Amino acid sequence: MESNVSANKWWHNAVVYQIYPRSFMDANNDGIGDLTGIISKLDYLQQLGINIIWLSPVYKSPMDDNGYDISDYQDIAPEFGTLEEMEQLIREAKKRDIHIVMDLVVNHTSDEHPWFIEARKSKNNPYRDYYIWREPQADGSVPNDFHSYFGGSGWEFDPQTGEYYFHQFSKKQPDLNWENPKVQEEIHQMMNWWLDKGIGGFRMDVIDLIGKQVDDKVMANGPKLHDLIKAMNQATFGPRNLLTVGETWSATPEIAKLYSATDRNELSMIFQFEHITMNWHPQEGKWQPLPFDLVKFKQIISKWQTALAHEGWNSLFWNNHDLPRAVSKYGDAGIFRVQSAKMLATTLHFLKGTPYVYQGEEIGMTNVRFDSIDDYKDIESLNLYHERIAAGVPHDQMMEGIYENGRDNARTPMQWDTSEYGGFSNHQPWLKVNPNYTEINANAALQEPDSVFYHYQHLIRLRKELPIMVYGDFECLLPEDPNTFIYTRTFQNQKIIVLSNFAAEKSKVLLPASIQNTYGQCISYNYSPRAELKHELTLEPFESIAILVHDKS
């Protein structure tokens, strides 16, 4: 079935690169990444071959959650730059055929946003209903037992009016009330203001939460969620040809189709997290990670690949600014770092969907282990550390959780070269540089023809050259094999076979009949090319190859 080729979108064969501005490049040497820094690295990104930048928030913000707490949607945080510099970034990116996708954080604002400053003044303030307020219970206690994702109650008492306001994240991130049509209108206007500046779309922060029904304790996937998104689509980006991606931790494949099926007029695609949360403890969550289970992982990926094959669209990612580094989590950050980083890249980029590369992934950056909790800056890690230590969890156990899954793993400054602070800045950065910058850095990668960087560059180019990579049907082979991920893509009379070894040792596989005795062109490899498959095959540790089999007919 090739029906969706006729509905080609420009972002189908593109690769998105995520920038976390605070940690990318510090041009004015104050220790904080900035817009001028990003502009100075656009040539690097063009060389990598990406067409889209997802820019984590750069709006004005007190930075309680590094910019996911916005106090002015129509201005830039002074530490990041100015509105003029933002416009310059959009222009300079465009010259290099790169679209800027902005982060849209509208489930909540900062408590320092003028709307909230007004809202808390009195119960009849015109902005009161922009947020969610409830009276205390008879004994003065919180309206219900809802917990914030960042620890503690989801309700904060505001003495001025004697009511609690609702916040799913920090108490400096009050939730907006999307039941209020004025909130909807204001957000739509703000979105159009940015769209008129020529941005390429939006990544929508926790968008599955905006349809919440607080009194019924329904947070994700509320009854009005899709109507709200449809209305947003119509009022803003719908008539323009843009990329929109919703962050939806609660999505199932069926829900994903509601968001991303073309005839629904909602979003281009969503981020689903099933392959991430499968590694979390069912009760203790991310702080008590489970060992990676490849068979389960393959089941989840295959389910999503199949379910969205002809309706909706997948986004593909190993990591982002909230998650540990891919090579540390799924590969090997030690002796097989380069091979495993390439293996992960190949495995992901040959899947059907739009790949997202998180800054530093393209040079195989790894997790970090700081000795002291004081070296960590992430509000989630810090709040949860203190909450759990107070509840009796041993320090070492909590640190292990942070080493494995803490968000600062992804937020250490980008490693550009071997100079002090990794070439990120001349000044002590806001978060320490990973000490391995002397070995792992962009400069070294650019000088090494066999580097992870050039592997990504090659994969990104292949996606533009080979429609089969974008539109081919997916099939997982040997789903029960615990060490390897083997799949095929088929399109017209072409077939691609991808074979990846997720083990740090050799893996022998008996090939299924459908791919035995095949011969073709090896279009991706991380050891040496293999063009022929017989009955069995022994893959090297973290080896990964892709073979384009021509002319099945």
- Quick one: which of 16, 34, 172, 255 contacts Ca ion (CB under 5 A)? 34
Local structure of residue 523 (DSSP, 8 states): E
Local structure of residue 410 (DSSP, 8 states): H
Identity of the residue, 333 or 402, whose beta carbon is nearer to ligand TEU in the bound complex: 402
- Quick one: which of 14, 16, 19, 32 contacts Ca ion (CB under 5 A)? 32
The answer to whether 105 contacts ligand TEU (rule: CB under 6 A) is yes
In whole angstroms, the minimum distance from the beta carbon of 323 to ligand TEU comes to 7
Amino acid at 537: L
Residue 400 annotated to the active site: no
Identity of the residue, 149 or 454, whose beta carbon is nearer to ligand TEU in the bound complex: 149
CA 529 → CA 113, 141, 496, 520, distances in Å? 56, 66, 14, 11
Q: Which does 28 bind (CB under 5 to 8 A by kind): ligand TEU, Ca ion, none?
A: Ca ion
Identity of the residue, 41 or 464, whose beta carbon is nearer to Ca ion in the bound complex: 41
Pairing of strands 532-533, 494-501: unpaired
Q: Which does 169 bind (CB under 5 to 8 A by kind): ligand TEU, Ca ion, none?
A: ligand TEU
- Quick one: which of 342, 407, 455, 463 contacts ligand TEU (CB under 6 A)? 407
Residues 6+ apart with CB under 8 A from 283: none
Nearest in space to 274 (alpha carbons), one of 240, 308, 241? 308
Tokens of 484: 């390897």
In whole angstroms, the minimum distance from the beta carbon of 257 to ligand TEU comes to 22
Give the SS3 label for residue 513.
helix
Q: How many CB atoms sit inside 10 A of residue 395's CB?
A: 11
Please provide the size of the chain in residues: 553
Contact (Cβ atoms closer than 8 angstroms) between residue 361 and residue 318: yes
Q: How many CB atoms sit inside 10 A of residue 256's CB?
A: 25
Residues 6+ apart with CB under 8 A from 374: none
Nearest in space to 246 (alpha carbons), one of 275, 217, 225, 277? 225
- On the 0-12 / 13-18 / 19+ scale of CB atoms within 10 A, 84 is exposed
Catalytic residue among 65, 205, 361, 380: 205
Tokens of 468: 């089969």
In whole angstroms, the minimum distance from the beta carbon of 60 to ligand TEU comes to 15
- Quick one: which of 206, 214, 256, 545 contacts ligand TEU (CB under 6 A)? 206
Q: Which does 149 bind (CB under 5 to 8 A by kind): Ca ion, ligand TEU, none?
A: ligand TEU
Q: How many CB atoms sit inside 10 A of residue 238's CB?
A: 15
Amino acid at 430: W
Determine the residue with CB nearest Ca ion: 34
Identity of the residue, 65 or 361, whose beta carbon is nearer to ligand TEU in the bound complex: 65
Q: How many CB atoms sit inside 10 A of residue 552's CB?
A: 10
d(CA 153, CA 146): 6
Q: Where in 286-325 is the site for ligand TEU (CB under 6 A)?
A: 286, 321-322
Place of tokens 């604002």: 109
Catalytic residue among 69, 156, 158, 247: 247
Binding-residue total with Ca ion (CB under 5 A): 5
Q: Where in 225-284 is the site for Ca ion (CB under 5 A)?
A: none
Which secondary structure element, helix H or strand E, spans residue 518, and what is its range? strand 518-519
Print the binding letters for residues 60-99 with ligand TEU: x by CB under 6 A, - otherwise.
-----x--x-------------------------------
Strands across the sheet containing 155-158: 133-134, 163-166, 155-158
Print the binding letters for residues 466-505 with ligand TEU: x by CB under 6 A, - otherwise.
----------------------------------------
Identity of the residue, 105 or 343, whose beta carbon is nearer to ligand TEU in the bound complex: 105
Identity of the residue, 69 or 266, whose beta carbon is nearer to ligand TEU in the bound complex: 69
The answer to whether 36 contacts Ca ion (rule: CB under 5 A) is no
Identity of the residue, 90 or 245, whose beta carbon is nearer to ligand TEU in the bound complex: 245
* Residue 129, strand partner residues: none
Amino acid at 60: K
In whole angstroms, the minimum distance from the beta carbon of 193 to ligand TEU comes to 21
The answer to whether 149 contacts ligand TEU (rule: CB under 6 A) is yes
The answer to whether 205 contacts ligand TEU (rule: CB under 6 A) is yes
Tokens of 367: 């997790």
- Quick one: which of 11, 116, 169, 370 contacts ligand TEU (CB under 6 A)? 169
Q: Which does 378 bind (CB under 5 to 8 A by kind): ligand TEU, Ca ion, none?
A: none
Identity of the residue, 332 or 380, whose beta carbon is nearer to ligand TEU in the bound complex: 380
- Quick one: which of 9, 30, 231, 504 contacts Ca ion (CB under 5 A)? 30
Residue 205 annotated to the active site: yes
In whole angstroms, the minimum distance from the beta carbon of 147 to ligand TEU comes to 12
Give the SS3 label for residue 333.
coil
The answer to whether 208 contacts ligand TEU (rule: CB under 6 A) is no
Active-site residues: which are they?
Answer: 205, 247
